């Protein structure tokens, strides 16, 4: 069996703390990933960021 070159599947991703300006994209992603479920509301996400900012991480891939 030949070895699989995983570098063909690698994507450059940056993990960083979530920012207020990420909230719209988070809501869009929730709608895409969990159709039929109501996403968190903006005020819930803002509160979560305010109370515990270091617990919120966002992947950034290809500028998004």
Q: What is the pLDDT of residues 10-62, one digit of tens each?
A: 888 899 999 999 999 999 999 999 999 999 999 999 999 999 989 999 988 76
Indicate the helix (H) or strand (E) that contains 26. Answer: helix 23-33
The pLDDT of residue 47: 96
What residue spans define the domains of the chain? 14-61
The pLDDT of residue 64: 67
Between 51 and 5, the higher pLDDT residue? 51
Report d(CA 55, CA 59) in Å as an integer. 13
């Amino acid at each position: 069996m030949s070895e699989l070159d995983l570098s063909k599947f690698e994507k450059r991703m940056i993990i960083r703390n979530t920012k207020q300006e990420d909230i719209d994209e988070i809501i869009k992603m929730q709608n895409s990933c969990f159709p039929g479920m109501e996403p968190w509301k903006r005020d819930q996400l803002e509160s979560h960021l305010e109370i515990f900012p270091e617990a919120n991480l966002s992947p950034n891939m290809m500028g998004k």
